Each structure stands twice: as structure tokens, then as C-alpha cells.
Structure 1
């Protein structure tokens, strides 16, 4: 991905006004000028209501076109506005990545009666009831769409489990019974088996389901002319399906698409297994690095900065890591809340934007703020770091992970971008660190690029500079004549 930067264009609490697509379209030029190369859009499908962020997907073929679930528009707008937004993104030389949800469906049109067993929510392999009839919302015929684009009708045989019995009013996890019906074994092992997450869980081993989702993928990618897909809830999806889904698209002229996804595991062994089982066909978000950043922000000077990349994807699979500081799942109020403290945001973004490896993703909530939680954005700081990335963060890096509270690195530059970049981070007091930038830099004056320090540092005859950083901060230094 070179020095590209991705932008997550949404957060959980955006207003339900249907103006998201049109507002974002007006911002595309500014985002391009800020150094953003790709836009990750939220799930654009018709969901349970317009107030649904999009992960409660009802109809994958309704992109804000049909009168379903109480409206024509989705939370974000109508299909013509979506297509206009994508055209604007492409016109500005940027890529568009779509958030795709294939683990479950929600908001069914009718109930059905079928046989099921209840399982222990803490161990889904443990059956806690006899097989019995339940009535559940599993029939999807999409009356508002009337068969346009696809005439496929979903019923209980296309799912593995549900979470509600309409007949008794009981909430729980009910595994659907029948020939070949079982949880997938090729998912995360949390809770015994983490195939089931929510709503009506799609049976990704069902041949009719697979054929329909493959057909939908062909239609969706052609209809919107997208550049990539972000897969939601990968730890709950059969890894072989994910592999075959990508293989299908690649074999049908979509090998240019970029595939990445959310495998929310803070466990390198589990990440390794998923990447192997999907034949390294997609990148994944570096969840472990996110948790390391969050922990470091909470512990302050008691966190050992030398361990910031321990267990991370970017350290162990540097070409397959999408690095991020926060996202819609980790923001305050969410079930996976693990928000990085504000004082540490600059350090965190420096760690994903100014280093060699990883495809960094900037989060809307960090960039523009989270209005519902009274959290301010740090756009100027992030823009500054993106600018430094684009101008100076090139070539290999030499690490100086000197102590618990002080680390640094030097980017050596490349043939096209020969300038050097020296970066320091302190999570305690102001400090300095002697780092090598090259004998050819002798006598050059380096200045700080983030506005933290107004001194000039002269490189000595051996190619070293003694670089400075303020307390609890990050500083980046480069030759002033290269500005």
C-alpha cells in the first residue's frame, strides 16, 4: 500500500438524518488534500431501521432504493446519493472500501416454526434443552423489493441459530436442528464455539446460501464499482467460506479488489490460525496493537514502551496488518469499549503513521470527534502526522527502543524520498536520545515537525543527532532544508 492512509468515515453515534452520503461528498476534496487515499464506508444496506448503524442487516440488495423497514433511505441516505459519493471519491483519485456484513440477518418479514435446541450462552456446545418447536423470525422475502436484483427467499434452513422464541417470549441461543445443521467448527473457540453472534445466524456451509452470497458479491461489486471490502465479524464466520468468497471474486475479474476485515482477537495464535485458514487472502485489523495502545494510555509512565508491538499483527505479519488507534467498536459506550486516552492519541497515531509497516486507518471519532460523547476531534494533529508521513516516512527504519519510557526510530528514506526522519516518544519526562541519521547528514540542521520544539539540532561528524522529546509526547525531526 506504499504510504497510503485509509479513513474510517463513520462512528457509532452519527445522526440519523439520511445526509451522511451528501455531507461526506462535500468533504472528499479536503480529505484528499489532507493525505487520505481511501475511504471506508459504513454498511450501506437496509437494516432494521434508519437508526441502525448498519450491522443489523436486513437486505443486502437494498442500498437505499426500496420502501422497506419504514423508509426508502438507510441511516446514511439513498442509493443515488451513495453512487454520487463513490463517483466523487474516484474523481479525486481515491479508493472506496465497503463494509460487508454476511454473518447474520435481522428484521425478518415473517416467523417460522421449526425444531431447535437451546444451548448454554457460555458454552454453545452444551445443549441445555430437549429438541422442541420454536417460532422465530427467519423468513425474508423482501416485499418492498419485489424480487428485483434477486428472487432468493431466505428461510430457517439457511440459518444455524436464533436468539428469540416468539412462541414463549424467551431470549436465549437456539441452535436450529436438521440434517447437516451444526455450528461451524472453523470459527473462534470463545464460548466453546463462537459461530453464533446475534440475530439469525447465516449458515455459510449451506450450498444455496453460498451460491446466493457469491451472486450478490458479483452484483454488488459491479453495481457500485468499489475498490475493496471490509468484512465484519470474521471470528464468527467459517474461515473456509471467507477464503472461497474471495477466491470466487478473484476468479471473476475482481482480483484487483483489496480485502481486509475485523478479526477481533487479542491473541496472536488465533490470528495466525485464521490467516493460515484463509490462505492469506486478506489483511486484518491489528486488534492486539490497539489494545496495547489503550493499555499504554491508561498506565502512563508505568507502561513499558518497548513492548508496544508485542503480539501484534504488524510485528508478526507486517504486510497483512491494518493498524488503527480506535474504531466504532472501541469507542465509549460500546460493548468492546477500549478507547485510547486523549493525551496518548498523538503518540498512538505516530506509531501507526510514521513507521514502515502496516496500512494505517484514521478513525472518524479521533479526527472529527464524537458529538454524542462530548469528545473533541484532533484533526490538526492527525493531518500534521499524515503530512509528515507523506513527505518523510520512507525507507527502512532503525529502532532505538532504549528504555521503558523512551523509544525512537529513524526512517532512512528512499531513492525518491531521500530525506531522513527521526521520531522520539516519551511517556514520562522530557528526554533526549542520540540516533544515527547518516554521515551524509553531517552539519545539517534538523527541526521538529509537529510544533513541539523550536530548537535546531545539528548533526555531528559521525552522522548522529541528539534529538529531544517533551514529556508524554512525540516529536519528529527532519532536515530543515528539505521542508
Structure 2
């Protein structure tokens, strides 16, 4: 089987022209050709406006079908466009993965009055007021949809908190009071800011039985309607992990047994991330935030960064079977709240570390492949990524041996298997030009290897035992393959 490779097929600053789903449908054949096996789609649900990237979710049942919030289409297109893009991917045996935003709802249709206490923004477990009444936008009637697909209406008691009091025209963080109300239990939620249940907008109360049943109903409708093969779970550190564990188990046991799931748990602590994985019974993968932050630090520090530690504290190292590795995404790109964009000089090395290794499922960022326009413009890396993808597709197999024994120059080999016998040798440095003595095994003895990335022009002739001295240019990466295979590709 070809190595799994995902592409995140969006970035934050895509144009608000409603044509993204059309572009994706047209691109499906190309994605298949370069070795993409999964595509992570942006949220397809009606948001606060046509320009909503998808995380200000208004109506989970509106995929670009109804006139709501001033638009029929979403930023990415109509429901018909969305379904056509999914069908195009599936025709190419690419698994479409939907970005699922369950944590909150935005842009309610009407205001309601209810009791709250105000809490400290930097410690949500500490109240700073007596109980009092506010008025907030918490009633969702979806008048544009007129009960099609579901007649469920959201009210204040379906939420745990809000951030705006319309009665007094004040902002803050307000915890909603009532029977069985309050933030998620501390042991089930991230402990940042005291209790990080509340993130934004109207925060959904996952302990409410009506909410639980409604979301199960929605999941059934959405999977049947869309035909997607997987979920990407947004902001899971803000969602009660008991609910999330039970929800995914329910979906797999009752709706789609082979559903692929990965979640976004953005945290600079490997121990917290691992604890979450285990608390949810290892039911889904998580993005490797710590590895991304290592890439970011390496790009900032240059040759002062110890490359031999590049995998430390990462899920790639601790839980390789449950990680989605990435270099950048829509949250880390320039201008965003979690901005930590990996330096452009280091991106080829970072992508080499996720694409040319066997741990985890690597995810390529749309903005890195096709480029980014506008104020935070970035050129694309399509040429180098196409080469890395080709190598991943045909050479990243068999026993993997690491040579992470120098602060400025590291390497590894993949020795190949029966179906992919040629193998691969990778060397990278964040300093001056260097070389690494690597072993490709006796099956490759006396063979000639060349750099498929064309960064080093020389050839490497292996000795009788399969050893060779593989060079690399300054601040660069080289990926060495059998010359005969290279010439025939």
C-alpha cells in the first residue's frame, strides 16, 4: 500500500468568491497523481457571513443551501459544489475529511434573558460577581432553513457561557447559571486559564441531554448527506473529553465503522497531549503541535538549534501511530492568533522530516503547496514538495535507521521492502555544507546513489557493505536514491 499522505486543502486568506469547492473538484486528479490519499476540507457549514473561514459556525445543517446571514453559498461555494468536490475525491480513492466545529455557535437569531456570573478572563474558575441577569444572543431559529432537515432550536440553556451582555452593553466571560449548568468538569477539560471550557461565541453545553441527542442526529444526517470518510475535530481541548470519546464511539458503532478521525489539541505540552489521547481511549489521532513548534524554533534559531533534538517531545516520537504531522496550517500562518510560521528556509527540511519518515500521517498545507496571496503573501513550495511526495510514494519503506548524532547534521535511511527494494538515504543540515556516513544494507552494495532533490550534483558509490558518505549543501536537505531507479522514473 502507498504511504498515507494528507493535504489540508485551504488556508485562512482564500478569496471570498465561492469557487473553492469547484477548484478542488478540478484538482482531484492531480492530487491523486502526486500521492495524496486524504484531503482535509475546510468547514462546510454556514457561518457568520460569506467570508467566514468556517469557524464561526451558525448552522450545521446548511452546507451552502439556504439564504442565511446574507448569503446562500459559504466562502467556498454551494452545497452542490461541496458534494461534487467530495464525489470527485472519492472517484480518485482519496478520503475526504470534513472539519467539524462543535465547540460553539455564532450569530444567533434572537436574544434571551438568563442568569450568569461573571468570571475572571485569566481564571475562569474564579467568579467576580454575584449572580445577575443579562441578555445575550443565544436563540437560534434558523428562519432561512424553515425546519428542513431538523426542527431543533437552540436556547440559552444549551450553552455554558457567552462573551457579550447586550442588556448592559458589556463584554466579558459569563458563565450561565441553572440546573446542571456550569463549565465542564475540571478533569474533563484543559486546565489553561483555570478552566478552558469557554473559547468563543456561544459555548455549547455537551452535558445537556438534548444537545447530545441532537448532535448524534446531526452526525447521521451529515454523513449520509455528504459521504465524507473522516472528521477533523476542531478545538478539542475546549470540549468535554468524555463527550468527545462517547460521541466518536457512537458514530463508529452506529453510523460509520471506518470513519477516520483526527483532532486539534493545540498545547505546548507533550504530556498533556498524550494524556488526552489516552483519556479518549486512543480512538483518534491528534495533530503533532510539539513537532511543529520544534520546526518553528529550528527555523528561528538557525544553526544554533540542535537538530539531533528535532523530534523531542513530539507525538511522532512518543505515539507515532496516533499522530498527524504538519509543518504549518491555517492557525500557525502569519496574521493568525497562533502564528508560529516556520521559516521559509527551513520548510524543505521540515517537510523532509514528515514526508520522508514512516511515523505518523504527514499533512501538507495548501498555503505551502500553492502559495498565499495578500498582506501575508508567501510563495509556494510545489516543486520541492512534488519531489518529496514522489520519494514518499516510492521509497519510504522498510526498516528505518536514524543517525541523529550531530547537532548540525542528521540523517536516516529507509532500507526498502519487497515491493519497494531501492530504499532511501536522507541527510540535512542547518549549518554549513557537510556529509553523513550512512548504511543502505548489503542489498545496495556497490550501487550508485543520486540526490533526487538535485541539491547535490555528485554521485555516491556504496562500498561492499552498503556504506556511503552522503553529502548535503549548507542549510539544506538531500534525499538519495538508486541512480538506476531515478533514471527510469
| TM-score above 0.5, yes or no | yes
Quote the residue 1:460 is aligned against: 463
Question: 1:413-435 CA distances to partner (integer Å, 9 max, x unpaired)?
Answer: 11211112000010001101111
- The residue matched to 1:371 in structure 2 has which SS? coil
Q: CA deviation at 1:440?
A: 2.4
Quote the residue 2:357 is aligned against: 355
Quote the residue 1:435 is aligned against: 438
- The residue matched to 1:188 in structure 2 has which SS? coil
Q: Distance in 2 between matches of 1:284 and 1:255?
A: 19
Q: CA deviation at 1:462?
A: 2.0
Task: State the 4+ residue runs in structure 1 displaced beyond 6 angstroms.
Answer: none
Question: 1:184-213 CA distances to partner (integer Å, 9 max, x unpaired)?
Answer: 121110000000000000001111000000
Quote the residue 2:280 is aligned against: 278
Quote the residue 1:72 is aligned against: 72
> Paired residue for 1:346, among 338, 343, 348?
348
Alignment TM-score, normalising by the size of structure 2: 0.98
Q: Do 2:220 and 2:255's aligned partners in 1 also have CA atoms closer than 8 Å?
A: no
- The residue matched to 1:375 in structure 2 has which SS? coil
Quote the residue 1:105 is aligned against: 105
Q: CA deviation at 1:2?
A: 5.6
- The residue matched to 2:354 in structure 1 has which SS? helix
Q: Distance in 1 between matches of 2:394 and 2:483?
A: 13
| Mapping 1:110-129, distance limit 5 Å | 110-129=110-129
Quote the residue 1:231 is aligned against: 233
| Mapping 1:13-412, distance limit 5 Å | 13-185=13-185, 186-372=188-374, 373-412=376-415
Moved more, 160-169 or 395-404: 395-404
- The residue matched to 1:98 in structure 2 has which SS? strand
Q: Do 2:242 and 2:280's aligned partners in 1 also have CA atoms closer than 8 Å?
A: yes
Q: Distance in 1 between matches of 2:128 and 2:460?
A: 69
Q: Distance in 1 between matches of 2:465 and 2:85?
A: 53
Moved more, 131-140 or 396-405: 396-405
Alignment TM-score, normalising by the size of structure 1: 0.99
Q: Distance in 2 between matches of 1:97 and 1:360?
A: 14
Q: Distance in 1 between matches of 2:432 and 2:481?
A: 22
Q: Distance in 2 between matches of 1:201 and 1:253?
A: 26
Gaps spanning 5+ residues in structure 1: where? none
Q: CA deviation at 1:253?
A: 3.8
- The residue matched to 2:49 in structure 1 has which SS? coil
Quote the residue 1:481 is aligned against: 484
Q: Do 1:35 and 1:383's aligned partners in 2 also have CA atoms closer than 8 Å?
A: no
- The residue matched to 2:111 in structure 1 has which SS? strand
Q: Distance in 2 between matches of 1:445 and 1:415?
A: 20
Number of residue pairs aligned between Structure 1 and Structure 2: 483
